[in-house]
A and B are shown apart, each in its own frame.
Chain A
């Protein structure tokens, strides 16, 4: 296996830290979930991991692949944003073709074949020539995954992949993520607070807390759900309101 991502003493936030001096490792080939309630800094941490935001302190190290977001080299990872972030004026196929045209020397027909292959993988081949506005939210997510996969990045980051999807579509997306992780052997780091998804697909997870400004639990989701003694973790996994002291 081996570590593919090392986060050491990283603080993130906007001026004021939302998370202080957190450390964790992600192993190659695993599905790693970052959990936590709203406003705990999950998405800010993700932006820091993918290089869109500088950490306030600490370092993020990718093992065996380049540092994040170097402008002159192809990106070492793929990202699925919460809103899918597809270009609205381009078809799904054109969206997936974009990184292939930028970073490979494939002839046009070969690039189109690869992009079609990605869309086929996520079940969108018949919709290749549709615009993002002409397909459903779940399809847009899957197209976003196809685009994130375009360059065969060894690590994928997903921000709230199931947000706004119905349970069936959400379960289908979970299935797809499992297929990618096990079939393509890519490492997936996902930020979410969707419990069914976490329990179904994540191998390991960390749980962040806004008040603690850090990690309050780590391990397999099943272990945390069944064995954690922390009231905040138990409340999260049992979907119960947390009794806060005044």
Chain B
């Protein structure tokens, strides 16, 4: 490391204040050395005179350090004086001297205590509940008004929303559902083969995919793609005051932004679910053909016997509920965004997490109800 461009010396004097002398160029590049050496030389001294007559250059960073050290001395009940400074040096020190305005602030952030945390959690929970209730209330009002006056709903971007959520998401839905069907098929085939139950593979894969995994996996994929996109898009619009702009134009954000998105998902998710069911079952067929050497027709006949239209219906019913949950939660989280870019990130994360919880919860409720009804 290069030697600092300043020197610090002390004048030994019997009694009286500690006299220190700073000379040369005192700049931020040597700030670490200045901080260490000056504080080291002063130790616990309470009376310090710092002679700056030989300082030929002082920059803002170094002036801030000198001012902070002087403030430390003042805080412990002592005093530190700068002497002999040239007009330029004195002007800089004056600019940074926090003692001008009374006590200097310290850089330690206020750490909230346990009670603060509990209080702010309770406050946030109440505020979030209130916001969700207000959102649902607005939505109900909006639905009534939209039914009475359908032209107030912004259908203009419905087509592109359907394309983005549906057609653009089709490849990933096909791939993931095929793989899930294949994985399920392989695990099932290994176990069934041990007991000579190869012919039940289609039952296992078909029913699992059509009733549970197809709708759920498809909804999870749509959450990751479209739900996150809705939350981020509406969140960015909120922090950019575009939502406020809409309101001042007399447009209801619910009807202008939320309805078209929920509607797009209501159209898209059941269709994607049917596609997911089909390719998931084909994943099982691929395993039946390759692992069990089962003829295609045998697998398909087993599938036809095992899976009925009401099984597909239960999956589609779930997909409709999933679509509403994804659309509403993602849009609500987006519209509730506060803060800048970080707020948008928080909203998007929160939207995905809450939707995933909701999907699994809804799935469990539906499965329980269907089992009670013997569907």
B-binding residues in A (CB < 8 A) = 88-89, 91, 93, 104-107, 109-110, 112-118, 120-121, 125-126, 128-129, 131-133, 149-152, 179, 183-185
What's the least CB distance linking B86 to chain A, in Å? 13
Q: How far is the CB of B106 from chain A (nearest CB, A)?
A: 8
Bound complex: CA of A183 vs CA of B36, how far in Å? 27
CB of A96 to closest CB in B, whole Å: 10
| In the complex, chain A residues whose CB is within 8 Å of the CB of B88 | 185
- The listed residue (B28, B65, B96, B341) touching A121 by CB distance below 8 A is B96
The reply to whether B60 and A117 form a contact with Cβ atoms under 8 Å apart is yes
Q: List 22 A-B contacts (CB under 8 A).
A: A89-B341, A104-B31, A104-B32, A106-B31, A106-B35, A110-B32, A113-B65, A113-B69, A114-B28, A114-B64, A116-B68, A116-B105, A117-B64, A117-B65, A117-B68, A121-B95, A129-B109, A131-B339, A132-B340, A133-B338, A133-B339, A149-B60
Kindly supply a per-residue 1/0 record for chain B positions 55-81, scoring 1 wherever the CB is within 8 Å of any chain A CB and 0 otherwise.
000011101110111000000000000
A133 and B28 within 8 A (CB): no
Q: Are B95 and A184 in contact (CB under 8 A)?
A: yes
Write out the residue numbers on chain B whose beta carbons fall within 8 Å of the beta carbon of A152.
27-28, 59-61
Extra 20 A-B pairs, beta carbons < 8 Å, given A113-B35, A121-B96: A88-B342, A104-B29, A105-B32, A106-B32, A107-B36, A109-B35, A110-B35, A114-B61, A114-B65, A117-B63, A117-B98, A118-B64, A120-B104, A125-B104, A132-B340, A133-B340, A152-B60, A179-B95, A184-B95, A185-B88
Q: Which B residues are CB-close (under 8 A) to A110?
A: 31-32, 35, 65, 68
Contact B31 A114, beta carbon cutoff 8 Å: yes
Q: Collect the chain A residues with CB atoms within 8 Å of residue B340's CB.
A: 88, 132-133
B64 (CB) vs chain A CBs: closest residue:
A117
Contact between A133 and B95, CB atoms less than 8 A apart: no
For the complex, what is the distance from the CA of A143 to the CA of B318, rounded to whole Å? Answer: 51
Given A88-B339, A91-B109, A106-B31, the answer on whether A117 and B67 have CB atoms closer than 8 Å is yes
| Cβ contacts under 8 Å, B249 to chain A | none
On chain A, the residues within 8 Å of B107 by CB distance are: 93, 109, 112-113, 115-116, 128
Which B residues lie at the A interface, using CB under 8 A?
27-29, 31-32, 35-36, 59-61, 63-65, 67-69, 88, 91-92, 95-96, 98, 104-107, 109-110, 338-343
6 closest Cβ contacts across the A-B interface? Answer: A117-B64, A88-B340, A113-B68, A112-B107, A89-B342, A110-B35
What is the CA–CA distance of A131 and B339 in the complex, to the nearest angstrom? Answer: 9
**Bound-state Cα–Cα, A229 to B277, Å:** 78
Closest to A86 in B: B340
Nearest chain B residue, comparing its CB with the CB of A74: B29
Residue of A nearest to B68 (CB): A113
Q: A107 near B32 (CB under 8 angstroms)?
A: yes
Of A88, A110, A118, the most chain B CB neighbours within 10 A belong to A110
Q: How far is the CA of A150 from the CA of B61 in the complex (A)?
A: 7
Are A151 and B61 neighbours in the complex by a CB distance under 8 Å? Answer: yes
Q: Bound complex: CA of A93 vs CA of B98, how far in Å?
A: 16
Closest residue of chain B to A125 (Cβ to Cβ) is B105
Residue on B nearest A183 in the bound complex, by CB: B95
* B35:A120 contact, CB within 8 angstroms: no
Shortest distance in angstroms between A95's beta carbon and chain B's nearest beta carbon? 12
Chain B residues positioned under 8 Å from A131 (CB to CB): 339
CB distance from A125 to the nearest CB of B (A): 5
- B341 near A88 with CB under 8 A, answer yes
Q: Which residues of B contact A184 (CB under 8 A)?
A: 60, 92, 95
Q: In the bound complex, what is the Cα–Cα distance between A113 and B95 (angstroms)?
A: 14
